[in-house]
Structure 1
């Protein structure tokens, strides 16, 4: 089994019932319809599916059903700090009609998606990047002509859709997406993450607290609402099975390789190389896959630089790991008193294991506070509230009251996150973002990130942050990585992921060790004289313990030494990097630089730029580097018509797994939706009304009781 999977990976790398009429029956029917509406109030959209799912369009009203998935194969090749991933999923149309499908899949938030291959029956087609509107027109034209076609669109930086036209009766559809990303490095470990689940995203029901700049929007066509595919009942086994193989070439000796949340087998082929595959033939996709590894002591690279020449430009990816402070340096670090605001998400999606993890994280955070510190706590679901009217000194009595408050928290309701941010990042009396003189103000935000209004929240954080720092703590088996990472970026903080209670102590301790004080300040990069260089990020921030400097750069030529410098403690610190000659093989650094530039351009919109100004710049970069973005898509069209002309409908269904740790089972009412609550209340009122009708109905003529059609 393992050798077969390794062989496949190696091959890849080389290449409501009827209506009730009359009196009491009608009233009861209306009541139950309202209750059913409550259970489906969280209308499914392209943001909801847990794992890539092929959804069949069943009509013109935006309704979809899900087709059976046959298999999912993931092959990842890691070279140094760059990972190249190919995801292949095979679907089967079991029906007798031609259908159109919509394939929804999550990817890492910084994935540079650049290739699409679709094999439908005996025909293979490859995607080309086009401006989004042009790509959709091309796809719709091909569909109307009976041609097989595919279209990949970005919904969010970590969520994509693929539309597939004219899937014939009993045909197999093989969809392959290829992307690359940089690895995460944290506290001496490299981390590779592959998302297998997405927490459903709550859409706030009310207006924003204050006007925000215009947020990037997807096309109306790609944001059409979907019927939720539904969840499988507990105990039915893996309904979205996946197989994963990872091949690592670290370039330096490895000391250990660990799969964080799945049983996996690790085989070492040499000191610096390893192959990892899931122990089971296929695993359920109810939690994200994470692989971590560290290099042997004494050989840990302090710095690395990868260069890719492409079309007359040298693209560089630079990573520097500053040394950790020793005991003497730690004792000399000046730790300012902190004003710590702890925020906890208590919405319905946090019920169960996620709630336990979040509460444990807050209790650990409270234990780190000293008497010279100040603190407060915020909890939010459909509403938000604070423990104290204002931050208080961390006295034993105040801390004990806070611990009791945390232990009493319960999950339920919606995810009105902006209300919590409004309390955590308030304005002062002068109408400016609040700061507390003499204190380092830090907001620790624990949530699963299950929201759909990320852009609004990013703009809010950027506007209200002031001198505060925002650190996000991702809770649960599949937090919204795009929101958590980007919110921390705008908050000038870091993102910490806690997937199980066993991790809470170590990871919260590491987080607070980071935020004690920066390890490296005033960081700058000196490029060779005369170089016209464009880097992302444009300005390197202060670095916290265990974090690397990662910079992507583009310049005409890079043949001389690059110097990274900063202040470590009170002493200057620097490291020199000399580019090594390219071996001629494309490393993907250019695509990673382009992805970083696109992300920076989109940030400009969130901070006040206009779509009209930014969109052409994004399109130009994406087209040059063949990348999917908010404004570009991958489209593939076959030249030969093989299907009928016009609309196609077909219904098929496969249920998806609840994310690990979620409470409830198939058919349970969703807990993260205020509209659901309203519909449920209406349903109960209708049931009450049914009883009243039953009581008075004996004296009311049947004709008067009939519900108008």
Structure 2
């Protein structure tokens, strides 16, 4: 859950602490500088709450005076009354605790909700409900309408490749000219290479430019009253579409196209493909101290996540209903007969023109954008391809995509003993169905441990705690103890991942044992790069396996963390999938590891291969490589080592299938590798220039390049104001709004601790005032 809040509870705590300090210095009652204006309430409520707190304060002062008088009198009695003095001291402590709890409870009761980054109140008035008008409430209390959005998705699948077209329609139901800024997710390996602005029958093709130049072009068009669109990449799986000058009662369409490769595995001898289309951005935890300034009127960045405002769109409260409908269609050509088709999270209707083809649509026609769409298909028995080779021939370079699945290697007689550390995310964003899935998955994983294994369990939210202080033997008694502990875990607080990862990875190497870290989380964080760096620095000889939990996990973080940890990524979106997915994961973990993978391209061929450093593999998982060649001709040799068994295979480039968009996939992998080099200390200026060169050549969005389209004809009159801005998104399915955003901040700093300290400061201020009032009386008595 997020560590930044638009309605700052931190400010309230700071004001309380300053008030206590000021009052102590002035030797006046502790409400001397405490004004109802400090509370984020409506004026009548603030006035009433101020009166209540003043009354409570007066009572606490009276109690303090009484206790001080009593203890002074008791101190003057004979020493045999020492027990009475001790009793009075205990009463003082209990009284102080009672006052602190009362003050804290009053503040908790009266404080308005402190929302996480991007959580902005959105209302739909009854008078406007028929038009579907959404009103966004600004920090100053004013409201303005925002455009209404719906999305159409058309995906064409050919073997392991998918080409998608996403059409975002921005409608202006109001009477003012509007601007829309929409933050949305795409697959983490999507190569976005085309954007068009459609205005009625007119189409404006988007141009790829350096990011600063593209934004300057867009802002200039916006000021001139021209319709314009801008698509920017915030993360590899997170994008922003900005649309300027939408006329009253009109609509503007933005079309985005991308290419991607699909996940593929061989499970029990059958090939299974998986297509995932993310629909919603989950609120992300933003650690660090807030920076000065605002980012386009949204949440401030921090010293750890400078662009926090750009990845934190407003979130609609579930009580207001669901928005942003999505219509989706998939045309599937598997190349071989399809045995089974499944959509685990959405009802679908499908047709089968041929045994190898399927046409899939949502059964309801449209669905709210509040959870990821997943489509899986299993190939007919005996039809699982172990080699897929595609080539796209060009004028100067050929591009190829090689997907090769190694065979099942013979397992050793006895598996190597393992040290397994489980990390479970118990932050506020996991509240609801996510924590249930995580607990069930972890309980199942514990039962899969063997007697030769050792284990530990670490949970984290705002703090990190472990079941044991180190790995312990997986005895039946300890597994039962750990299972009970796991089932008692509750979701709360922030998402401080770094201490948990450090604790799990900070272990000595033992060549006689296999070290595995299983990380169950929704990945709802904004400081991904810092976490990737930590994993690479501390990994040692361990392997990190990520398990994505919930309806909208941060797949970029999950997949990249697994890659940095030389492991794999598994996604569980439903409690019903826990058994199957965790069993598949552990079956892979228990199979021999393929190391030392090498590819030898035809002799004399210049090959620019990505990734250059090939990962270790588990049986049933494919090796996927994108390459640029002078000429795709000859034989490719692939080899690797299992448990004392050498595996090798050969592929003839001349027998490849024809593919399209492979250059974009190669360029996307190269850009990812270049960006990863920053964590290894590469100079950013050099990386930036290389990324820009590749992205411009292949028309790709990246951190440094964006797509912009401008309709040259001005349409908005100069005297007409432009309204709108950041558009709201739904809360992901299964998430609990109060657990994510809370009633008080639960971010990078522990606001409840601050509140307690502030309250105790108020109490101390009151007692000090009472003590100082008592001193003159005591002096007079002497």
How does the TM-score come out when normalised to structure 2?
0.76
**Structure 2: gaps of 5 or more residues:** 1-39, 55-102, 123-131, 291-300, 770-782
| Partner in structure 2 of residue 389 of structure 1 | 469
TM-fit CA distance, 1:667:
11
1:183 counterpart = 2:289: no
Tell me the CA shift for residue 320 of structure 1.
0.6
Where does 1:179-328 land on structure 2 (aligned, <5 Å)?
A: 179-186=258-265, 187=267, 188-205=271-288, 223=309, 228-233=314-319, 236=321, 238-325=322-409
The answer as to 2:192 corresponding to 1:113 is yes
Aligned to 1:473: 547
Residues in 1 aligned to 2:208 and 2:110: alpha-carbon distance in whole angstroms: 42
Q: How many residues align?
A: 653
* Secondary structure of the structure 2 residue equivalent to 1:461: helix
- In structure 2, the residue matched to 1:594 is 667
Residue 411 of structure 1, aligned match among 491, 513, 525: 491
Deviation, 1:137, is 1.3
Distance 1:680 1:173, change over 3 A: farther
TM-superposed CA distance for 1:35, in Å, is 7.6
- Counterparts of 1:564 and 1:54, CA distance in 2: 58
Write out per-residue CA displacement over residues 664-688 of structure 1, whole angstroms, 9 at most, x where no aligned residue. Answer: 5799737883269627975997999
Instruction: Tell me the secondary structure at the aligned position of residue 462 of structure 2.
Output: coil
Q: Point out the structure with the larger helix share.
A: 2
Cα distance in structure 2, aligned partners of 1:567 and 1:22 = 71
Structure with bigger RCO (C-alpha 8 Å, 6+ apart): 1
Residues of 1 paired with 2:164 and 2:202: CA distance? 23
For 1:152, the equivalent position in structure 2 comes to 231
Q: CA deviation at 1:633?
A: 0.4
Question: 2:520 matched to which residue of 1?
Answer: 446
1:464 alignment counterpart: 538
* Structure 1 residues not aligned, in runs of 5+: 1-15, 208-214, 428-433, 697-709
Q: Taking structure 1 as reference, are residues 521 and 393 closer, same or farther at Cα in structure 2, changes over 3 Å only?
A: same
Deviations along 1:159-192, one digit per CA (max 9) or x if unpaired, are 0001111111111111211111001002321000
Cross-structure match for 2:168: 89
Q: Which residue of 2 aligns with 1:173?
A: 252
Q: Distance in 2 between matches of 1:127 and 1:62?
A: 37
Partner of 2:27: none
More moved, 544-553 vs 668-677: 668-677
Distance 1:165 1:653 in 2: 12
Tell me, in whole angstroms, the C-alpha distance in 2 between the residues paired with 1:99 and 1:626.
29
Aligned partners of 1:54 and 1:108: how far apart in 2?
A: 30
| CA shift in 2, pair 1:223/1:18, >3 Å | closer
Distance verdict in 2 for CA 1:492–1:561, change over 3 Å = same
1:397-424 deviation per Cα after TM superposition (whole angstroms, max 9, x unaligned):
2222212211221111111011111111
CA contact (8 A) 2:597 2:639 kept: yes
Deviation per CA, 1:471-524: give whole Å up to 9, x if none: 001111111100000000000000011111211112111111111243533322
**Given the alignment of the two structures, is residue 531 of structure 1 paired with residue 626 of structure 2, yes or no?**
no
Give the aligned partner of residue 3 of structure 1.
Answer: none
CA deviation map 1:226-254 (0-9, x unaligned): 772422328x4x43321111001112222
Alignment check: 8 A CA contact 1:622 1:628 kept: yes
What is the rounded CA distance, in whole Å, between the counterparts of 2:471 and 2:312 in structure 1? Answer: 44
State how far apart, in whole Å, the 2-side matches of 1:223 and 1:173 are: 25
Q: How does 1:658-697 map to 2 (within 5 A)?
A: 658-664=731-737, 669=742, 673-674=746-747, 678=751, 682=755
Looking at structure 2, the residues matched to 66 and 459 of structure 1 have their Cα atoms a distance apart, in angstroms, of 42
Pick which of 534-543 and 637-646 moved more: 637-646
Q: Using a 3 Å threshold, how does the CA distance of structure 1 residues 366 and 504 change in structure 2: closer, same or farther?
A: same
**Other-structure match for 1:700:** none
Q: Contact between 1:239 and 1:657, CA under 8 Å: does it hold in 2?
A: yes
1:530/1:107 Cα in 2 relative to 1: closer, same or farther (>3 Å)? same
Separation in structure 1 between the aligned mates of residue 230 and residue 695 of structure 2, nearest angstrom: 16
Cα distance in 1 for partners of 2:680, 2:762 equals 50
- 1:156 is displaced (CA, Å) by 0.5
- How far is the alpha carbon of 1:43 from its aligned partner? 2.1
Residue pairs, 1:588-627, within 5 angstroms: 588-627=661-700
Report the aligned-residue RMSD: 3.8
> Which has the higher mean CA deviation after the structures are superposed, 418-427 or 457-466?
418-427
Deviations 1:60-98 (A, max 9, x none): 999996735353211000012110001112121122222
Describe the shift of the 1:136–1:638 C-alpha distance in structure 2 as closer, same or farther (beyond 3 A): same
- Cα deviation 1:106-153 (Å, max 9, x = unaligned): 000010001111224564322111011111111122222222211111
Give the conservation status (yes or no) of the 8 Å contact 1:41–1:673: no
Contact 2:391 2:400 (8 Å CA) reproduced: yes
> Which is higher, the Rg of structure 1 or of structure 2?
2
Quick one: distance in 2 between partners of 1:495 and 1:115?
29
Separation (CA, whole Å) in 2 of partners of 1:159 and 1:65: 26
Q: 1:203 and 1:393, CA in 2 relative to 1: closer, same or farther beyond 3 A?
A: same
In the aligned structure 2, how far is the partner of 1:218 from the partner of 1:342? 26
Report deviation, 1:224: 5.2
